[in-house]
Amino acid sequence: MRVVVSGGSGFLGSHLCEALLRRGDSVCALDNLSSGRSVNIAPLLHDPRFAFEACDVSEPFTVSGHVDAVAHLASPASPVDYQRLPLETLAAGSRGTENMLRLADRHSARFVLASTSEVYGDPTVHPQDEEYWGHVNPVGPRSVYDEAKRFAEALSMAYRRTRAVDVGIVRIFNTYGPRMRSYDGRVVSSFIRQALAGEPLTLFGDGSQTRSFCYVDDMVRGLTAMIDSHRPGPFNLGNPGERTVRELAELVVMITGSDSGLRFLPLPVDDPVRRRPVISRAREGLGWRPLVPLEEGLRHTVEWFLAQPRRPVRPSEQSRVGRPS
């Protein structure tokens, strides 16, 4: 197939591009590099089946040649990024989604929306299955991401119902692995960066809030299964193994051999207390389940961080990193 991947130079998007090429597909990656990095796709640029276009999918763009599938991953996805880029996040979820849907419609292509567990907000139902409609604060500090993805889901299903676009929706839970940015604000990358630097690991609240962590290789298998499917979803993609944030911190300290302590700060507004996916629908509909244990995935991620240049990129410097020359 020829697959167009928006957000193709991001953490998850670059892994998806790599996996598609590995199995024999050709890929056109689109990215404005607001949170993605060109270094993530640098090894792919030598492959004649890979093309990269620096563009903002919330603005008009063109893709030449035929298209068999469209995967829409473009959006700032970490709290640091979507609070730094609130209007851009809303644009990616609204105009960006519609532009990608129009591309799929023109080519009669499969369309896969990378939605998020954030559509469930701070859930009042636990664990979360796809029938749960969520508990989201529409005017809170996280709303630009939560509501952008909720709108993107509604828009995608409207295109499926009214224009018969072959739409599929996946709701992605916490994902981690190589190519995470040190200062992206995600808990795994923050803990690893702090542990390797010998700094206290920063926990919000008392660390009893829970998350479910899925290794990036497992997540990419779910995304490719959805691209190959014709099912609409939505499907939860995540690891149903639930861990407290404090347990994660202690595991990172153990794996890194760090002597870092723990530092506790006030819980941010609207931060979800518990998060765990029900994945029975993905098991049945996609034949998918996560395979990589948390400790194994964390060891791979720590090894990757150790192999990187010592000076990490801070969010304020992101706009200067990875820009095409």
DSSP string for residues in 15-31: HHHHHHHHTT-EEEEEE
What residue spans define the domains of the chain? 2-320
Q: What is the pTM of this model?
A: 0.93
Q: Report pLDDT digits (tens) over 130-178.
A: 999 999 999 998 999 999 999 999 999 999 999 999 999 999 999 999 9
Tell which CATH architecture fits domain 2-320: 3-Layer(aba) Sandwich (3.40)
Contact 236, 130 (CB under 8 A): yes
**Separation of alpha carbons 220 and 217, rounded Å:** 5
> Tokens at residue 75, please?
């959006």
The verdict on whether 145 is a catalytic residue reads yes
**Separation of alpha carbons 23 and 21, rounded Å:** 5
Contact 267, 312 (CB under 8 A): no
Residue type, 155: L
Among candidate residues 120, 145, 159, 183, the one labeled active-site is 145
Q: Report pLDDT digits (tens) over 10-68.
A: 999 999 999 999 999 999 999 999 999 999 999 999 999 999 999 999 999 999 999 99
Strands (E), the chain: 2-6, 26-31, 50-54, 69-72, 110-116, 166-172, 175-176, 201-204, 210-212, 214-215, 235-237, 242-244, 262-265
**Separation of alpha carbons 146 and 291, rounded Å:** 28
- Please state the separation of Cα 261 from the chain's center in Å: 29
Q: Which residue has the higher pLDDT, 273 or 247?
A: 247
Beta strands at 235-237 and 166-172: parallel, antiparallel or unpaired: parallel
Percent of the chain's residues with pLDDT above 70: 95
3-state SS assignment for residue 69: strand
**Separation of alpha carbons 146 and 311, rounded Å:** 32
Query: What pLDDT band is residue 311 in, cutting at 50, 70 and 90?
Result: low
Q: What is the pLDDT of residue 190?
A: 96
Q: Report pLDDT digits (tens) over 190-206.
A: 999 999 999 999 999 99
Whether a cis peptide bond, with omega within 30° of 0, leads into 234 is: yes
Q: What is the pLDDT of residue 317?
A: 42
**Separation of alpha carbons 80 and 184, rounded Å:** 6
